[in-house]
Amino acid sequence: MKTSLSHSKVKAGDELPGLDIPLTRTLIVATAIATRDYQEVHHDPGLAVERGSKDIIMNILTTNSFVGRYITDWAGPDALIRSVKVRLGAPNYPGDTMKMTGSVTAMEGKVATIAIRGANSLGDHVNATVEVELS
Amino acid sequence: MAITREGMTVSQTQQETDADKKAFYEQLQGFVGLQIGPPQPAPDEVNIPMIRHLVEAVGDENPIYLDEAAAKASRHGEVVAPPTMLQAWVMHGITPRSNEGDGPYEQMNRLLFSKGFTSVVATNCEQVYDRYVKPGDRLSMTTTIDSISEEKTTGLGTGHFVTTRQDYWDADGNRVGSMLFRIIRFRPAAKSKPKPPRPAPATTHDNSWWFDALKDGTLLIQRCKGCGELRNPPHPMCASCRSMEWDSIEAKGTGSIHSYVVTHYPVVPSFDYPLPILLVDLDEGVRMVMNPIDATPEDLQIGRKVTIEVHKCDPDLSLPFARLAK
Ligand SMILES: [Zn+2]
């Protein structure tokens, strides 16, 4: 079983391992539906274009889910996420890759503050700040 | 009547004064703190199948979401849902939500639409978790309008940031998490380029006097000198007594909507669409065609009282516009 990262091993300035998310059409549609988000811009390319988008785009709930995954991939099952604050930027279109990077910006007791960036070929899709209590 | 306000917003893309913006901002602030609708119940309790669909799609291998033994061994002690999935439990689903209500959110949107802030992009989402939810939890959500910014110009265009606050509750009435969700309602930057001027009316010897008076801010009604009948639009001969002698009176500037159309097509680049066009019964007894000002098509109603204001459209053209009475 996956072990959890102890707070004693983490300090401000630590980098989290990078994570590349290939943005397939299947991923964008499957995650939109799995979050019960049926807005056409997340699954219907024709209507997305009609509404002024280049193609379908990842929905926000999924962006949040990837931020959550990115944290617990690193911190393990004992991590307790306290808050996730995201600022949204360039859309995640199919065919692109979102490259996630992150670093610890503060440690207070067991609580780490992590700054996360998810960038695609157009720029930053998401900038997130996460507070997570480590084991 | 006959107030000409120089540089007043006729087309929504012309410059507004700082005072207009301040008044509009203050109007928007009236919505802050209002709850939007009743609590929204989650259609289903927190459940494993929905968790599975999402964590599989996202490739999240954290075992606490699906593996009972692993969850038990963790600090969570039992299977829990991904905290970032909070919103998903209360999502509305495939049936489109009606935009036709008359709650505070719809009213706020209509006000924003009336100023041309019709586009929307989400900019921020901030979730704070009081506890992780777990299968069996029955959630509901309440939403309030948290804040509305002053007018801001971003790369997207000019608009107002609107932040709503969602609180998520369990069946015992304890909060499990909350979210601030910020969007910007804006006029797209590309469309903020100056519009071409309004097509000029065809003026002739018989009607140019009427347009000239409008340029001075005065709305006139033609009057037959033979029988005294008022008529509009201006023309040379009285239809009742055939007199070609006429003068004019100044309109009081009050009336009501006789009828209206809302044009969507064809689009003339000088105008914003949908474009309402009114036929107004002036209280003096003549009818005039004009556009409404600061009104959306939903606000229009046959019989609704209007006051008429003369506004400058461009240096060579001023026209009457109908403002809906309160
Ligand atoms: Zn006459």
| CATH code where residue A83 lies | 3.10.129.10
- pLDDT at position A41: 92
Q: In angstroms, rounded to a whole number, what is the distance separating the alpha carbons of residues A10 and A14? A: 7
Classify residue A103 by its DSSP letter.
E
- pLDDT at position B7: 34
What are the DSSP E strand ranges found in A13-95?
A: 15-22, 80-88
Residue A1 lies in a domain: no
- pLDDT at position B244: 96
Residue A24 lies in a domain: yes
- pLDDT at position B293: 92
Residue A98 lies in a domain: yes
Residue A54 lies in a domain: yes
Residue A67 lies in a domain: yes
SS3 A41: helix
- Is the per-residue pLDDT at A128 higher than 80? yes
State which amino acid sits at residue B59: G
DSSP labels for B180-210? Answer: EEEEEEEEEGGGGSPPPPPPPP---TTTHHH
- pLDDT at position B193: 61
Task: Name which of B92, B125, B176 to mutate to probe chain A: the one with the most chain A Cβ atoms within 10 A of its Cβ.
Answer: B125
- pLDDT at position B326: 79
The verdict on B84 touching A (C-beta cutoff 8 Å) is yes
- pLDDT at position B17: 80
> How remote is the CA of residue B230 from the centroid of ligand 1, in Å?
8
Distance from CA of B4 to the nearest CA of A (A): 38
Total count of domains within chain A:
1
Q: In angstroms, rounded to a whole number, what is the distance separating the alpha carbons of residues B190 and B141? A: 37
- Is the per-residue pLDDT at A127 higher than 50? yes
User: Does A77 contact B59 at a Cβ distance shorter than 8 Å?
Assistant: no
Q: Among residues 48-87 of chain A, which lie with CB inside 8 Å of chain B?
A: 60-62, 64-69, 72-73, 76-78, 80-87
- pLDDT at position B6: 37
Residue A111 lies in a domain: yes
The arithmetic mean of pLDDT across residues A57-76, rounded, is 97
For chain A, what is the mean pLDDT?
95
> How remote is the CA of residue B286 from the centroid of ligand 1, in Å?
14
Residues 6+ apart with CB under 8 A from B223: B229, B230, B231, B246, B247, B248, B249
- Of the listed ranges A54-68, A93-107, B34-48, B185-199, the least confidently predicted one is B185-199
Instruction: Kindly give the confidence (pLDDT) of every residue in chain B, 326 residues in length, as a single tens digit, with 9 standing for 90 and above.
Output: 333 333 333 444 445 688 888 899 999 999 999 999 889 999 999 999 999 999 999 999 999 999 999 999 999 999 999 999 999 999 988 887 666 677 888 889 889 988 889 888 899 999 999 999 999 999 999 999 999 999 998 877 889 999 999 999 999 999 999 999 999 999 876 645 677 889 999 999 999 999 999 999 999 999 999 999 999 999 999 999 999 999 999 999 999 999 999 998 888 888 988 899 999 999 999 999 999 998 888 899 999 999 999 999 988 999 999 999 97
User: Does A83 contact B129 at a Cβ distance shorter than 8 Å?
Assistant: yes
The verdict on B59 touching A (C-beta cutoff 8 Å) is yes
Kindly list the structural domains of chain B, giving each domain's residue range(s) and its CATH number in brackets, ordered by start.
10-40+98-188 (3.10.129.10), 208-324 (no CATH)
- pLDDT at position B195: 79
Q: Is the pTM of this model over 0.95?
A: no
Alpha helices in chain B (DSSP H): 18-29, 48-58, 68-73, 104-114, 208-215
- pLDDT at position B8: 37
List the single residue in B54, B63, B84 with the smallest CB-CB distance to A77: B63
- pLDDT at position B1: 33
Residue A85 lies in a domain: yes
Distance from CA of A14 to the nearest CA of B (A): 21
Residues 6+ apart with CB under 8 A from B301: B257
Residue A2 lies in a domain: no
* Contact in structure between B271 and B293 (CB atoms under 8 Å): no
- Is the per-residue pLDDT at A15 higher than 70? yes
- Is the per-residue pLDDT at A1 higher than 80? no
> How remote is the CA of residue B211 from the centroid of ligand 1, in Å?
22
Task: Name which of B76, B127, B191 to mutate to probe chain A: the one with the most chain A Cβ atoms within 10 A of its Cβ.
Answer: B127
* Contact in structure between B76 and B68 (CB atoms under 8 Å): no
- Domain limits at A44? 7-133
